[in-house]
Structures are given as structure tokens and as C-alpha cells.
Amino acid sequence: MSLHKKDRLTALFESWAGEEHTSFHPLPPSASYREYYRISGATKTAIGVFNHDRKENEAFLSFTRHFLKKNLPVPNVYADDLQNGIYLLEDLGDQTLFKFLHEHRVNGVFPDVVTDRYKKSIETLIRFQVEASGDLDYSVCYPRASYDKQSMLWDMNYFKYYFLKLARIHFDEQLLEHDFHTFADYLLEEKCHYFIYRDFQARNIMLKDGVPYFIDYQGGRKGALQYDLASILFQAKANIPHEVREELLDHYLDKLGKIIEIDRDKFIQYFYSYVLIRQIQVLGAYGFRGFFERKTYFLDSIPFAIENLKWILSKMELPVEVPALLDVFKQITESEPLKKYGEKAGDNRFLTVKITSFSYKKGIPEDPSGNGGGFVFDCRAIHNPGRYKPYKKLTGRDPEVITFLQRESNINDFLSGVYSLVENAVENYLERGFSHLMVNFGCTGGQHRSVYSADCLARHLEKKYNVNVVLNHIEQERKGWVN
């Protein structure tokens, strides 16, 4: 980031915290253009956010303050400077529902503990949809106050131009446009006066002490209850088994029915139609991010969305005539070029690489996957910054320690050898369809060299491979230094 952004964020942090910042670390980028940083001082920590879109910032902050008044689980807003596009939020840690899913999913099995977290999340969703809707200030919604026909047509045209055209799916533009209008008119016959999150998926749900907290709802607006439920149950890479989806749908309806009167059959009919328009929106995003921006992560997500599409079309019969739309769906599910992405992803999508830093004084970590362990790299031969007073209270994530290791040690040579060994294993595991690989970095205190090494390997693998990386700094999390 540019220096002035960092200066403004740290100044905002120091004004709020009443203490100097001691660390400033970027968080992994998301699909949006917002930038997130973890800023810490001697006793306080916060998440700093930069976003140049003022209207989006205003919507997020307004929604957040409203939700907090309703005692809904969202991060506290510590401070904001809208003029410069920055604000500070409560640090909820790094455990998302999506990360929790992949940590506990072994060989594709969706365990009960994950189902329970999903149930808690959709129970909380109902509170947002019903309790927060009535007196929410929808005037701040951006870009529109409701998921209306115009919004739906934007999604459908996004799908048409960024997915269908770039995937070389054939269509008659006039006939397809007619079906878009017909489908949107049908969807809007359902009640559309509830708050919808718009991007309600497992990466936007933080788990803090097992409690789901919601983030990234700046695109919220009025809409139908079914939309957000469709979003989370059919999130492509979560790949929730169909029987679990049915169980979660029933759970949602049971809980919702205790709050408002619903017609279950009618709700379900509209639900699968909203699943379809959510898939339309998602495929448009995958086309833009993957085909246009050439981000392979989104291309690798296409097979999951296609499998969802196949299942939905086999499950439902649309109550309106949209032959041109159904034809492009059929082409998508039968497309040989799109199937190649599926062959590329294959079973590799379930490979989780768990990377851990630890202290040899406390012992080598156990492998929670049940596979008996993996790589253990000893960082103790690397020049130790912890021997010097200026670095004793810092970690391998602090700029001063990073500079020391890069200039005063052979850590780059050490990591080069690590990368070579781990890459060979990752590629072998991907080819053989294995689901878990564990890599441990140990040093004397689990504070400097091992933390830096684990972070570097995590970034390296995330950039190079389509794998799920789970990072765990044992000693730092135990001390509360690294969330």
C-alpha cells in the first residue's frame, strides 16, 4: 500500500487506542477491492480498512451501527475517517466458517460439528433478516435500496457478457433478454421487504469462541428471504452435500416458522428459483474474475457451480416459460471446455495444507487429520533475532524482525529448500487425490523464525496451487499475540 494510507491508518489507530502501533500487517486479499490490515499496539488491536468507495463505506458503517443497536453479532466500529476512506473495526480473529469447514472436513466428509456451525449461522441470519429489517435506514444502500428488477437484470447481464460470451455459450440475445425479464418478474412476486446480505457465504462469517459474527454486508438491501439462504447453502467451493443442504433448509424453516408465518411449500418453490439467480450472479463473477482478470482461483470454482446447477435443474421445474435461459444452462452443464476446469480441479479441491509454527520446548504438534504427521522443519540453525533485546517482544510478522531475518540470516536459502520439498509433496498429493498435508516449523520459542517461515510458505502455496491453506501459530495464539 502507499505510505500515506499506512500513515493515515496508523494515525487513526493511535488516536483511538491512545498508544503507538507496534505492528502493521496486511491481511490476505479478498474478491473485493477493499484492503484490510491488522494493526496492534502494546495492549490493543484492530482491523484497519481502506476503501476508496465512500458510498460503500457509508452503507457498511450505517448498517453496522444499526446491527449493534439490535445486539446482533458484527464487529464494533472503533473509529472512522470517511474523507480518507479508512475506518477501524474490532479484530474478530482469522477463523471463518469456510476455514473451519476445511479444517474439519476429512476425505470429503461433512462432519456434524460443521453442520452445527452452519445451523448457528443460519439461525443468526434469521435475526438479521427479521429483527433488523423494520427500522433499517435503506437510504444508504449502495448501489440500490432493494434487490429489484433492475438489480436482477444487472446480474443477468453480468452473467451474459462475462460468462456466457467468454465461455462461448451460444444464445439468441433477444430471446434470452425476454427470459431474463420473465424470470425477474416471477422472482419479484415473492415478498421482498426483508434485509438481504447479498453475499452471505462462509468466508463472510467469522467464528469467535464458536459464535458466528457477520462481516462484509456493505452490499445489503431489501429483498426476499430465500436469497441469502440460497447463497450460503449453494456456495460453490463449500460443496455442501445435498442431504446436508436439505437438513439445513428444514432447520431454517423450522426456526423461521417460530417467528413469522410462512407457507413452506411456497417458500421452497421460490427458494430454488432464487438459488438459480444466485448461480447466475456467481457464474458472472467467476467469468469476470477468471476469464477476464485471469485469476485461476475463480476458474477452479466453475466446476462446483456447474455441479450445483445440474442438481438444481434436476430438482425443480420452473413455473414460468424461459426456454432460452434453460438452453444456456443446458449448454453450460454439457460444455467440454468448461469440463476441463473440472478435470483440472478434480479431487484436488479437497487438499488442505496445514502449516504450523511451534516451540520445540512444547513439543511437535499432533496431526489432527489422523494421518500421523507431515514435514517438520527445524529453524533453530537460522540466526535468531530473539537473542537481541530490540526483537524480544516482537514476532516473525513484525517488519523489524522480517528485515533482520532477510539481511542477517540464511533464511532465504532455508526456505528455498523447503519450497522444493513441499512443492513435490503437494503436487504428488494433488495427483493422487489426498486430502491433507501437514507442515511444521519449529524454533526455540515459536516466536520469530518459525512464524516468519510458516507465513512465507503459506503465501507461496496460496499463490502457486489451488489448495486450502490453514495457518496456525501455536505459541502466538496461546499468548494472544497473533490472532
Tens-digit pLDDT profile for residues 376-418: 999 999 999 999 999 999 999 999 999 999 999 999 999 999 9
Tens-digit pLDDT profile for residues 163-214: 999 999 999 999 999 999 999 999 999 999 999 999 999 999 999 999 999 9
Would the pLDDT of 6 be above 60? yes
Q: Among 3-7, 181-185, 305-309, 315-319, which is the least confidently predicted range?
A: 3-7
State the pLDDT at residue 169: 97
Q: Among 119-123, 198-202, 371-375, 430-434, which is the least confidently predicted range?
A: 430-434
Would the pLDDT of 3 be above 80? no
Q: Where does the pLDDT of residue 481 fall: very low under 50, low under 70, confident under 90, or very high at 90 and above?
A: low
Kindly report the length of the chain.
483
Supply the Cα-derived Rg of the chain in whole angstroms: 24
Would the pLDDT of 344 be above 70? no
Other beta carbons less than 10 A from residue 149's beta carbon: 14
Would the pLDDT of 1 be above 50? no
Tens-digit pLDDT profile for residues 46-76: 999 999 999 999 999 999 999 999 999 999 9
Q: Among 120-124, 431-435, 438-442, 472-476, which is the least confidently predicted range?
A: 431-435
Overall average pLDDT of the 211-224 stretch: 97
Would the pLDDT of 343 be above 80? no
Phi, psi (5° rounding) for residue 387? -75, -10
Answer yes or no: are the C-beta atoms of 51 and 30 closer than 8 Å: no
State the pLDDT at residue 346: 43
Residue 77: strand pairing partners? 89
Answer yes or no: are the C-beta atoms of 185 and 149 closer than 8 Å: yes
Residue 286 CB contacts under 8 Å (≥ 6 apart), including other chains:
163, 236, 298, 299, 301, 302, 305
Q: Where does the pLDDT of residue 29 fall: very low under 50, low under 70, confident under 90, or very high at 90 and above?
A: low
Overall average pLDDT of the 85-108 stretch: 89
State the pLDDT at residue 30: 66
Would the pLDDT of 372 be above 60? yes
Q: Among 54-63, 302-311, 338-347, 437-446, which is the least confidently predicted range?
A: 338-347
Overall average pLDDT of the 77-91 stretch: 97
State the pLDDT at residue 104: 86
Task: State how far the Cα of 208 lies from the Cα of 100, in Å rounded to an integer.
Answer: 11
For the chain, how many helices (H) and strands (E)? 16, 13
Overall average pLDDT of the 98-122 stretch: 89
The CATH architecture annotation of domain 3-89 reads 2-Layer Sandwich (3.30)
Would the pLDDT of 347 be above 50? no
Task: State how far the Cα of 373 lies from the Cα of 438, in Å rounded to an integer.
Answer: 6
Report domain extents, the chain.
3-89, 97-346, 351-479
Tens-digit pLDDT profile for residues 325-341: 999 999 999 998 887 77
Cis peptide before 73 (omega within 30 of 0): no
State the pLDDT at residue 345: 45
Model's pTM, two decimal places?
Answer: 0.73
Would the pLDDT of 348 be above 50? no
CATH number for the domain formed by residue range(s) 97-346: 3.90.1200.10
What sign results for the dihedral spanned by CA atoms 247, 249, 252, 258? negative
Would the pLDDT of 370 be above 80? no
State the pLDDT at residue 299: 82
Residue 376 CB contacts under 8 Å (≥ 6 apart), including other chains:
364, 440, 442
- Residue in 204, 199, 200 with CA at minimum distance from that of residue 75: 204
How high is the mean pLDDT of the chain? 91
State the pLDDT at residue 433: 65
Overall average pLDDT of the 213-230 stretch: 97
State the pLDDT at residue 368: 74
State the pLDDT at residue 477: 73
Tens-digit pLDDT profile for residues 451-462: 999 999 999 898
Tens-digit pLDDT profile for residues 246-297: 999 999 999 999 999 999 999 999 999 999 999 999 999 999 988 888 776 6
Tens-digit pLDDT profile for residues 133-154: 889 999 999 999 999 999 999 9
